Amino acid sequence: MNKKKLQSLILDFKNYAFILMAVSVFLYIGVILPDQGKEEIYDMILMITTVLFLLASFVCFKTSLKYKKQLDKHES
């Protein structure tokens, strides 16, 4: 891969990770807010989705780091 392609992949995966993390924060806020008459299943769904988004964010950060190492290796 060329240098520009690797740089764009690094930036893309970092952006995906930050967006996923931000969405997971909003979902978690939905879990901790007091609920009036809301069923318990909705909190479970929100927590599961929050965890999945955080895991996806972690994977995107790891992928970005992998491409960053490839770029450093390519430049040396």
Q: What is the extent of the structural domain holding 55?
A: 3-75
Per residue of the chain (76 residues), what is the pLDDT tens digit?
789 999 999 999 999 999 999 999 999 998 888 878 778 898 899 999 999 999 999 999 999 999 999 999 988 7
Q: Please name the residue that has the structure tokens 């007091």.
A: 34
DSSP state at residue 37? S
Q: What is the pLDDT of residues 49-59, one digit of tens each?
A: 999 999 999 99
pLDDT of residue 36: 81
5 residue type, one letter: K
Look at the chain and report how many structural domains it folds into: 1
pLDDT of residue 46: 92
